[in-house]
Structure 1
Protein backbone atom coordinates (compact mmCIF):
# COMPACT_ATOMS: atom_id res chain seq x y z
CA UNK A 1 0.00 0.00 0.00
CA UNK A 2 1.45 3.35 -1.00
CA UNK A 3 0.49 6.93 -0.28
CA UNK A 4 1.79 10.29 -1.38
CA UNK A 5 2.37 13.29 0.87
CA UNK A 6 1.70 16.44 -1.13
CA UNK A 7 2.76 19.22 1.23
CA UNK A 8 6.48 19.63 0.66
CA UNK A 9 8.37 22.70 1.75
CA UNK A 10 11.84 24.01 1.18
CA UNK A 11 13.80 23.90 4.47
CA UNK A 12 14.89 27.49 3.87
CA UNK A 13 11.25 28.58 4.20
CA UNK A 14 10.86 26.97 7.62
CA UNK A 15 12.58 28.55 10.60
CA UNK A 16 13.87 26.08 13.16
CA UNK A 17 15.20 26.92 16.58
CA UNK A 18 17.85 24.62 17.97
CA UNK A 19 19.65 24.92 21.24
CA UNK A 20 23.38 25.54 21.03
CA UNK A 21 23.98 23.53 24.19
CA UNK A 22 23.42 20.05 22.78
CA UNK A 23 26.26 17.56 22.67
CA UNK A 24 26.50 16.39 19.07
CA UNK A 25 27.64 12.90 18.08
CA UNK A 26 28.80 12.73 14.48
CA UNK A 27 29.62 9.39 12.89
CA UNK A 28 32.90 9.19 10.97
CA UNK A 29 34.99 6.53 9.26
CA UNK A 30 37.10 6.01 12.38
CA UNK A 31 34.29 6.10 14.95
CA UNK A 32 32.44 9.03 16.51
CA UNK A 33 33.24 12.71 16.90
CA UNK A 34 31.75 14.18 20.10
CA UNK A 35 31.27 17.92 19.56
CA UNK A 36 30.97 19.79 22.85
CA UNK A 37 29.19 23.16 23.14
CA UNK A 38 31.46 26.15 23.61
CA UNK A 39 28.94 28.61 25.09
CA UNK A 40 28.28 26.94 28.46
CA UNK A 41 30.20 27.58 31.66
CA UNK A 42 32.71 24.91 32.67
CA UNK A 43 30.41 23.63 35.40
CA UNK A 44 27.35 23.49 33.14
CA UNK A 45 29.29 21.68 30.42
CA UNK A 46 30.59 19.13 32.88
CA UNK A 47 27.13 18.51 34.33
CA UNK A 48 25.63 18.12 30.85
CA UNK A 49 28.41 15.71 29.88
CA UNK A 50 27.84 13.67 33.04
CA UNK A 51 24.10 13.52 32.37
CA UNK A 52 24.87 12.33 28.85
CA UNK A 53 27.67 9.91 29.78
CA UNK A 54 25.54 6.77 30.01
CA UNK A 55 23.98 7.24 26.58
CA UNK A 56 27.31 8.33 25.08
CA UNK A 57 29.05 5.24 26.42
CA UNK A 58 26.46 2.99 24.78
CA UNK A 59 26.67 4.90 21.49
CA UNK A 60 30.46 4.67 21.34
CA UNK A 61 30.98 1.20 22.83
CA UNK A 62 33.83 -0.56 21.04
CA UNK A 63 34.75 2.36 18.79
CA UNK A 64 37.03 5.36 19.07
CA UNK A 65 35.96 8.88 20.03
CA UNK A 66 37.33 12.27 19.04
CA UNK A 67 36.53 14.99 21.59
CA UNK A 68 35.99 18.30 19.81
CA UNK A 69 35.89 21.38 22.08
CA UNK A 70 35.52 23.75 19.10
CA UNK A 71 36.73 27.26 20.10
CA UNK A 72 36.37 26.76 23.84
CA UNK A 73 39.14 27.97 26.17
CA UNK A 74 39.68 25.47 28.96
CA UNK A 75 41.95 25.45 31.99
CA UNK A 76 44.17 22.66 33.25
CA UNK A 77 41.92 22.30 36.31
CA UNK A 78 38.83 21.80 34.14
CA UNK A 79 40.69 19.34 31.91
CA UNK A 80 41.60 17.22 34.93
CA UNK A 81 37.98 17.23 36.13
CA UNK A 82 36.72 16.35 32.65
CA UNK A 83 39.17 13.45 32.47
CA UNK A 84 38.46 12.02 35.91
CA UNK A 85 34.69 12.56 36.03
CA UNK A 86 33.70 11.96 32.40
CA UNK A 87 36.35 10.29 30.23
CA UNK A 88 37.76 7.76 32.69
CA UNK A 89 34.42 7.06 34.37
CA UNK A 90 32.78 6.41 31.00
CA UNK A 91 35.74 4.32 29.81
CA UNK A 92 35.85 6.19 26.49
CA UNK A 93 38.58 5.27 24.02
CA UNK A 94 39.69 8.77 23.03
CA UNK A 95 41.48 8.88 19.68
CA UNK A 96 42.13 12.60 19.60
CA UNK A 97 41.46 15.91 21.35
CA UNK A 98 40.48 18.74 19.02
CA UNK A 99 40.00 22.50 19.25
CA UNK A 100 40.60 25.49 17.01
CA UNK A 101 41.45 27.57 20.10
CA UNK A 102 45.24 27.92 20.13
CA UNK A 103 45.56 27.94 23.95
CA UNK A 104 43.32 24.89 24.37
CA UNK A 105 45.17 23.00 21.64
CA UNK A 106 48.50 23.80 23.27
CA UNK A 107 47.17 22.51 26.61
CA UNK A 108 46.18 19.22 24.95
CA UNK A 109 49.61 18.85 23.38
CA UNK A 110 51.40 19.76 26.62
CA UNK A 111 49.34 17.07 28.37
CA UNK A 112 50.59 14.48 25.89
CA UNK A 113 47.26 14.02 24.07
CA UNK A 114 46.92 13.23 20.38
CA UNK A 115 45.43 16.18 18.50
CA UNK A 116 43.95 16.67 15.05
CA UNK A 117 41.94 14.41 12.76
CA UNK A 118 42.89 10.71 12.98
CA UNK A 119 44.56 9.59 9.75
CA UNK A 120 42.29 6.53 9.57
CA UNK A 121 39.33 8.83 8.92
CA UNK A 122 40.70 10.04 5.60
CA UNK A 123 41.81 6.70 4.18
CA UNK A 124 38.78 4.70 5.32
CA UNK A 125 36.29 7.27 4.14
CA UNK A 126 37.91 7.37 0.71
CA UNK A 127 37.50 3.61 0.36
CA UNK A 128 34.03 3.08 1.81
CA UNK A 129 32.32 6.42 1.21
CA UNK A 130 30.76 6.17 4.68
CA UNK A 131 30.04 3.00 6.65
CA UNK A 132 26.75 2.12 8.36
CA UNK A 133 26.40 3.46 11.90
CA UNK A 134 24.62 0.90 14.12
CA UNK A 135 23.05 2.21 17.34
CA UNK A 136 21.81 -0.51 19.71
CA UNK A 137 19.74 1.68 22.02
CA UNK A 138 17.08 4.40 22.03
CA UNK A 139 17.60 8.13 21.51
CA UNK A 140 16.06 10.54 23.99
CA UNK A 141 15.04 14.18 23.59
CA UNK A 142 17.97 16.52 22.99
CA UNK A 143 20.24 13.90 21.42
CA UNK A 144 21.42 14.49 17.85
CA UNK A 145 23.34 12.03 15.69
CA UNK A 146 24.95 13.03 12.39
CA UNK A 147 26.64 10.47 10.13
CA UNK A 148 28.14 10.21 6.63
CA UNK A 149 26.44 7.00 5.53
CA UNK A 150 23.44 4.92 6.61
CA UNK A 151 22.15 4.96 10.20
CA UNK A 152 20.42 1.96 11.80
CA UNK A 153 18.78 2.55 15.19
CA UNK A 154 17.73 -0.66 16.97
CA UNK A 155 15.55 1.13 19.48
CA UNK A 156 13.06 3.97 19.81
CA UNK A 157 13.63 7.56 18.70
CA UNK A 158 11.82 9.86 21.11
CA UNK A 159 10.37 13.27 20.35
CA UNK A 160 13.09 15.92 20.42
CA UNK A 161 15.82 13.57 19.14
CA UNK A 162 17.33 14.02 15.69
CA UNK A 163 19.20 11.90 13.15
CA UNK A 164 20.91 13.40 10.09
CA UNK A 165 22.48 10.99 7.61
CA UNK A 166 23.91 11.25 4.12
CA UNK A 167 22.37 7.83 3.39
CA UNK A 168 19.29 5.90 4.51
CA UNK A 169 17.85 5.89 8.04
CA UNK A 170 16.20 2.85 9.63
CA UNK A 171 14.53 3.02 13.05
CA UNK A 172 13.48 -0.41 14.29
CA UNK A 173 11.18 0.91 17.00
CA UNK A 174 8.97 3.98 17.36
CA UNK A 175 10.02 7.06 15.37
CA UNK A 176 8.83 10.31 16.97
CA UNK A 177 11.89 12.53 16.44
CA UNK A 178 13.17 14.38 13.37
CA UNK A 179 14.99 12.42 10.66
CA UNK A 180 16.89 13.86 7.69
CA UNK A 181 18.03 11.17 5.24
CA UNK A 182 20.08 11.98 2.14
CA UNK A 183 21.24 15.26 3.66
CA UNK A 184 23.81 15.67 0.86
CA UNK A 185 21.30 14.87 -1.88
CA UNK A 186 20.52 11.65 -3.73
CA UNK A 187 17.77 9.04 -3.55
CA UNK A 188 17.45 7.60 -0.06
CA UNK A 189 14.71 6.42 2.28
CA UNK A 190 13.47 6.52 5.86
CA UNK A 191 12.11 3.32 7.42
CA UNK A 192 10.42 2.93 10.81
CA UNK A 193 8.84 0.12 12.78
CA UNK A 194 6.22 2.55 14.11
CA UNK A 195 6.02 5.97 12.45
CA UNK A 196 4.79 8.84 14.66
CA UNK A 197 6.94 11.78 13.50
CA UNK A 198 5.44 15.21 12.87
CA UNK A 199 8.04 16.13 10.26
CA UNK A 200 10.81 14.57 8.20
CA UNK A 201 13.33 15.45 5.51
CA UNK A 202 14.49 13.56 2.47
CA UNK A 203 17.24 15.20 0.46
CA UNK A 204 16.34 18.87 0.06
CA UNK A 205 12.64 18.36 0.80
CA UNK A 206 10.87 18.95 4.10
CA UNK A 207 7.43 17.72 5.13
CA UNK A 208 6.11 19.27 8.33
CA UNK A 209 2.38 18.56 8.05
CA UNK A 210 2.28 14.97 9.28
CA UNK A 211 -0.24 13.86 11.90
CA UNK A 212 -2.53 11.15 13.24
CA UNK A 213 -4.95 11.62 10.34
CA UNK A 214 -2.49 9.83 8.06
CA UNK A 215 -3.74 6.29 7.38
CA UNK A 216 -0.25 4.91 7.94
CA UNK A 217 0.34 6.77 11.22
CA UNK A 218 1.66 4.40 13.89
CA UNK A 219 2.47 1.70 11.34
CA UNK A 220 5.67 0.22 9.94
CA UNK A 221 6.56 2.18 6.80
CA UNK A 222 9.31 2.99 4.32
CA UNK A 223 9.28 6.54 2.92
CA UNK A 224 11.10 7.55 -0.24
CA UNK A 225 11.25 10.59 -2.51
CA UNK A 226 9.82 9.96 -5.99
CA UNK A 227 9.08 12.67 -8.57
CA UNK A 228 9.44 15.39 -5.93
CA UNK A 229 6.83 13.78 -3.64
CA UNK A 230 7.17 11.64 -0.53
CA UNK A 231 5.88 8.14 -1.22
CA UNK A 232 4.93 6.02 1.79
CA UNK A 233 4.69 2.23 1.69
CA UNK A 234 3.64 0.05 4.58
CA UNK A 235 6.03 -2.67 5.72
CA UNK A 236 5.27 -6.11 7.08
CA UNK A 237 7.78 -6.66 9.88
Structure 2
Protein backbone atom coordinates (compact mmCIF):
# COMPACT_ATOMS: atom_id res chain seq x y z
CA UNK A 1 0.00 0.00 0.00
CA UNK A 2 2.82 2.44 0.81
CA UNK A 3 4.59 1.77 -2.47
CA UNK A 4 1.44 2.17 -4.54
CA UNK A 5 -0.19 4.96 -2.52
CA UNK A 6 0.40 7.59 -5.20
CA UNK A 7 -0.89 5.32 -7.96
CA UNK A 8 -3.99 4.39 -5.96
CA UNK A 9 -4.72 8.02 -5.10
CA UNK A 10 -4.29 9.06 -8.72
CA UNK A 11 -6.51 6.23 -9.96
CA UNK A 12 -9.23 7.09 -7.43
CA UNK A 13 -9.10 10.74 -8.52
CA UNK A 14 -9.43 9.79 -12.19
CA UNK A 15 -12.39 7.52 -11.43
CA UNK A 16 -14.05 10.32 -9.48
CA UNK A 17 -13.50 12.76 -12.37
CA UNK A 18 -14.67 10.36 -15.08
CA UNK A 19 -17.68 8.96 -13.23
CA UNK A 20 -20.07 11.75 -14.42
CA UNK A 21 -19.03 11.05 -18.02
CA UNK A 22 -19.80 7.38 -17.56
CA UNK A 23 -23.25 8.29 -16.22
CA UNK A 24 -23.85 10.49 -19.26
CA UNK A 25 -22.77 7.60 -21.51
CA UNK A 26 -25.06 5.15 -19.74
CA UNK A 27 -28.11 7.40 -19.90
CA UNK A 28 -27.56 8.11 -23.58
CA UNK A 29 -28.94 4.59 -24.12
CA UNK A 30 -31.93 5.16 -21.87
CA UNK A 31 -35.55 5.41 -22.98
CA UNK A 32 -37.33 7.56 -20.41
CA UNK A 33 -41.09 7.47 -20.07
CA UNK A 34 -41.43 11.18 -19.33
CA UNK A 35 -39.57 14.37 -20.15
CA UNK A 36 -36.75 13.86 -17.66
CA UNK A 37 -33.86 11.47 -18.22
CA UNK A 38 -33.03 10.99 -14.54
CA UNK A 39 -34.02 7.37 -13.91
CA UNK A 40 -33.08 4.27 -15.87
CA UNK A 41 -36.09 2.75 -17.61
CA UNK A 42 -35.20 0.77 -20.72
CA UNK A 43 -32.19 0.21 -22.95
CA UNK A 44 -32.62 1.85 -26.34
CA UNK A 45 -30.48 3.14 -29.21
CA UNK A 46 -33.15 5.48 -30.56
CA UNK A 47 -31.29 8.61 -29.48
CA UNK A 48 -28.07 7.43 -31.17
CA UNK A 49 -29.99 6.55 -34.34
CA UNK A 50 -31.55 10.02 -34.49
CA UNK A 51 -29.33 12.51 -32.60
CA UNK A 52 -31.00 15.47 -34.34
CA UNK A 53 -34.49 14.39 -33.41
CA UNK A 54 -34.96 17.40 -31.12
CA UNK A 55 -35.87 20.67 -32.79
CA UNK A 56 -33.10 23.31 -32.99
CA UNK A 57 -30.57 21.15 -31.09
CA UNK A 58 -28.30 20.34 -34.03
CA UNK A 59 -28.55 23.94 -35.20
CA UNK A 60 -27.28 25.17 -31.85
CA UNK A 61 -24.58 22.48 -31.89
CA UNK A 62 -23.40 23.59 -35.33
CA UNK A 63 -23.31 27.20 -34.13
CA UNK A 64 -21.24 26.26 -31.08
CA UNK A 65 -18.80 24.28 -33.20
CA UNK A 66 -18.45 27.17 -35.63
CA UNK A 67 -17.85 29.73 -32.88
CA UNK A 68 -15.43 27.41 -31.07
CA UNK A 69 -13.48 26.74 -34.26
CA UNK A 70 -13.14 30.41 -35.20
CA UNK A 71 -12.38 31.42 -31.62
CA UNK A 72 -9.68 28.75 -31.46
CA UNK A 73 -8.06 30.02 -34.65
CA UNK A 74 -8.14 33.64 -33.50
CA UNK A 75 -7.00 32.98 -29.93
CA UNK A 76 -4.24 30.60 -31.06
CA UNK A 77 -2.91 33.03 -33.65
CA UNK A 78 -2.86 36.11 -31.42
CA UNK A 79 -1.90 34.13 -28.33
CA UNK A 80 1.09 32.51 -30.03
CA UNK A 81 2.39 35.85 -31.27
CA UNK A 82 1.95 37.39 -27.82
CA UNK A 83 3.63 34.42 -26.13
CA UNK A 84 6.71 34.68 -28.34
CA UNK A 85 6.89 38.43 -27.71
CA UNK A 86 6.66 37.99 -23.93
CA UNK A 87 9.09 35.05 -23.80
CA UNK A 88 11.74 36.27 -26.25
CA UNK A 89 11.77 40.08 -26.12
CA UNK A 90 12.18 42.86 -23.60
CA UNK A 91 10.00 45.93 -23.85
CA UNK A 92 8.53 48.59 -21.64
CA UNK A 93 5.45 47.39 -19.77
CA UNK A 94 6.31 43.69 -20.04
CA UNK A 95 5.68 43.10 -16.33
CA UNK A 96 2.28 44.78 -16.52
CA UNK A 97 1.40 42.75 -19.61
CA UNK A 98 2.28 39.50 -17.82
CA UNK A 99 0.03 40.53 -14.93
CA UNK A 100 -2.87 41.46 -17.21
CA UNK A 101 -2.71 38.07 -18.93
CA UNK A 102 -3.72 36.30 -15.74
CA UNK A 103 -6.69 38.57 -15.01
CA UNK A 104 -9.22 36.72 -17.25
CA UNK A 105 -8.21 33.43 -15.61
CA UNK A 106 -8.24 34.80 -12.06
CA UNK A 107 -11.38 36.94 -12.08
CA UNK A 108 -14.90 35.45 -11.97
CA UNK A 109 -16.20 34.71 -15.44
CA UNK A 110 -19.37 36.73 -14.84
CA UNK A 111 -17.26 39.89 -14.33
CA UNK A 112 -15.63 39.57 -17.74
CA UNK A 113 -18.97 38.66 -19.33
CA UNK A 114 -20.71 41.72 -17.89
CA UNK A 115 -17.79 43.99 -18.80
CA UNK A 116 -17.77 42.87 -22.42
CA UNK A 117 -21.54 43.12 -22.60
CA UNK A 118 -21.40 46.70 -21.28
CA UNK A 119 -18.66 47.57 -23.78
CA UNK A 120 -20.68 46.27 -26.74
CA UNK A 121 -23.77 48.03 -25.45
CA UNK A 122 -22.00 51.39 -25.12
CA UNK A 123 -20.48 50.99 -28.58
CA UNK A 124 -23.97 50.21 -29.94
CA UNK A 125 -22.80 46.91 -31.40
CA UNK A 126 -25.61 44.53 -32.28
CA UNK A 127 -25.47 41.41 -30.12
CA UNK A 128 -25.19 38.12 -31.94
CA UNK A 129 -22.60 35.89 -33.58
CA UNK A 130 -19.91 38.57 -33.86
CA UNK A 131 -20.10 39.68 -30.23
CA UNK A 132 -19.96 36.07 -29.00
CA UNK A 133 -16.93 35.36 -31.18
CA UNK A 134 -15.04 38.45 -29.96
CA UNK A 135 -15.88 37.63 -26.34
CA UNK A 136 -14.71 34.01 -26.72
CA UNK A 137 -11.42 35.07 -28.32
CA UNK A 138 -10.80 37.52 -25.48
CA UNK A 139 -11.58 34.85 -22.90
CA UNK A 140 -9.45 32.09 -24.49
CA UNK A 141 -6.50 34.33 -25.32
CA UNK A 142 -4.93 34.17 -21.86
CA UNK A 143 -5.02 30.36 -21.74
CA UNK A 144 -3.26 30.11 -25.09
CA UNK A 145 -0.60 32.62 -24.09
CA UNK A 146 0.18 30.76 -20.86
CA UNK A 147 0.42 27.37 -22.61
CA UNK A 148 2.60 28.58 -25.50
CA UNK A 149 4.76 30.80 -23.29
CA UNK A 150 5.60 27.88 -21.01
CA UNK A 151 6.66 25.82 -24.03
CA UNK A 152 8.74 28.62 -25.55
CA UNK A 153 10.51 29.25 -22.23
CA UNK A 154 11.58 25.58 -22.06
CA UNK A 155 13.01 25.52 -25.60
CA UNK A 156 16.77 25.31 -26.05
CA UNK A 157 17.91 28.48 -27.90
CA UNK A 158 21.08 26.69 -29.03
CA UNK A 159 19.04 24.72 -31.58
CA UNK A 160 18.02 27.92 -33.33
CA UNK A 161 21.58 29.21 -33.13
CA UNK A 162 22.79 25.99 -34.76
CA UNK A 163 20.28 26.48 -37.58
CA UNK A 164 21.54 30.02 -38.18
CA UNK A 165 25.14 28.76 -38.12
CA UNK A 166 24.14 26.37 -40.92
CA UNK A 167 23.08 29.39 -43.04
CA UNK A 168 19.34 29.04 -42.43
CA UNK A 169 17.45 32.29 -42.84
CA UNK A 170 15.08 33.70 -40.21
CA UNK A 171 12.01 32.25 -41.95
CA UNK A 172 13.62 28.81 -42.42
CA UNK A 173 14.75 28.76 -38.80
CA UNK A 174 11.28 29.61 -37.61
CA UNK A 175 9.45 27.13 -39.84
CA UNK A 176 11.85 24.19 -39.47
CA UNK A 177 13.14 24.59 -35.92
CA UNK A 178 11.20 27.05 -33.77
CA UNK A 179 7.67 26.18 -34.88
CA UNK A 180 8.06 22.37 -34.58
CA UNK A 181 9.54 22.80 -31.10
CA UNK A 182 6.69 25.09 -30.02
CA UNK A 183 4.01 22.95 -31.70
CA UNK A 184 3.06 20.92 -28.57
CA UNK A 185 2.38 24.09 -26.61
CA UNK A 186 0.43 25.62 -29.49
CA UNK A 187 -1.63 22.44 -29.88
CA UNK A 188 -2.34 22.32 -26.14
CA UNK A 189 -3.46 25.95 -26.16
CA UNK A 190 -5.67 25.36 -29.22
CA UNK A 191 -7.37 22.31 -27.70
CA UNK A 192 -7.94 24.11 -24.42
CA UNK A 193 -9.30 27.13 -26.27
CA UNK A 194 -11.74 24.98 -28.26
CA UNK A 195 -12.99 23.20 -25.15
CA UNK A 196 -13.48 26.44 -23.22
CA UNK A 197 -15.28 28.14 -26.08
CA UNK A 198 -17.57 25.22 -26.87
CA UNK A 199 -18.48 24.72 -23.21
CA UNK A 200 -18.92 28.37 -22.23
CA UNK A 201 -22.32 29.56 -21.05
CA UNK A 202 -21.90 32.68 -18.89
CA UNK A 203 -19.96 34.82 -21.37
CA UNK A 204 -22.19 33.63 -24.20
CA UNK A 205 -25.36 34.42 -22.26
CA UNK A 206 -24.25 38.02 -21.62
CA UNK A 207 -23.13 38.67 -25.20
CA UNK A 208 -25.63 36.71 -27.32
CA UNK A 209 -28.55 38.21 -29.15
CA UNK A 210 -32.15 37.08 -28.70
CA UNK A 211 -32.00 34.81 -31.75
CA UNK A 212 -28.51 33.36 -31.15
CA UNK A 213 -28.62 30.07 -29.23
CA UNK A 214 -25.51 27.99 -28.72
CA UNK A 215 -25.49 24.39 -27.50
CA UNK A 216 -24.87 25.23 -23.80
CA UNK A 217 -27.70 27.78 -23.96
CA UNK A 218 -29.95 25.17 -25.55
CA UNK A 219 -29.17 22.70 -22.76
CA UNK A 220 -29.86 25.35 -20.12
CA UNK A 221 -33.22 26.17 -21.70
CA UNK A 222 -34.12 22.51 -22.18
CA UNK A 223 -33.33 21.73 -18.52
CA UNK A 224 -36.40 23.69 -17.48
CA UNK A 225 -38.63 21.47 -19.58
CA UNK A 226 -36.64 18.22 -19.44
CA UNK A 227 -33.28 17.51 -21.07
CA UNK A 228 -33.71 15.13 -24.04
CA UNK A 229 -31.62 11.97 -24.34
CA UNK A 230 -29.95 13.37 -27.45
CA UNK A 231 -28.04 15.83 -25.23
CA UNK A 232 -26.36 12.83 -23.58
CA UNK A 233 -25.50 11.51 -27.04
CA UNK A 234 -23.79 14.77 -28.03
CA UNK A 235 -21.97 14.95 -24.71
CA UNK A 236 -20.73 11.38 -25.04
CA UNK A 237 -19.60 11.94 -28.62
CA UNK A 238 -17.63 15.07 -27.65
CA UNK A 239 -16.02 13.23 -24.74
CA UNK A 240 -14.99 10.29 -26.92
CA UNK A 241 -13.54 12.62 -29.57
CA UNK A 242 -11.55 14.54 -26.93
CA UNK A 243 -10.16 11.34 -25.43
CA UNK A 244 -9.30 10.08 -28.91
CA UNK A 245 -7.36 13.24 -29.74
CA UNK A 246 -5.40 12.98 -26.49
CA UNK A 247 -4.60 9.31 -27.10
CA UNK A 248 -3.45 9.98 -30.66
CA UNK A 249 -1.22 12.77 -29.40
CA UNK A 250 0.30 10.56 -26.72
CA UNK A 251 0.92 7.69 -29.15
CA UNK A 252 2.52 10.04 -31.67
CA UNK A 253 4.75 11.58 -29.01
CA UNK A 254 5.85 8.15 -27.75
CA UNK A 255 6.74 7.03 -31.27
CA UNK A 256 8.82 10.15 -31.83
CA UNK A 257 10.70 9.55 -28.58
CA UNK A 258 11.49 6.00 -29.58
CA UNK A 259 12.83 7.03 -32.98
CA UNK A 260 14.78 9.99 -31.58
Structures share fold, TM-score greater than 0.5: no
TM-score normalised by the chain length of structure 2: 0.23
Higher relative contact order (CA 8 A, sep 6+): 2
Greater strand share, 1 or 2? 1
With normalisation by structure 1, the TM-score equals: 0.25
Larger Rg: 2
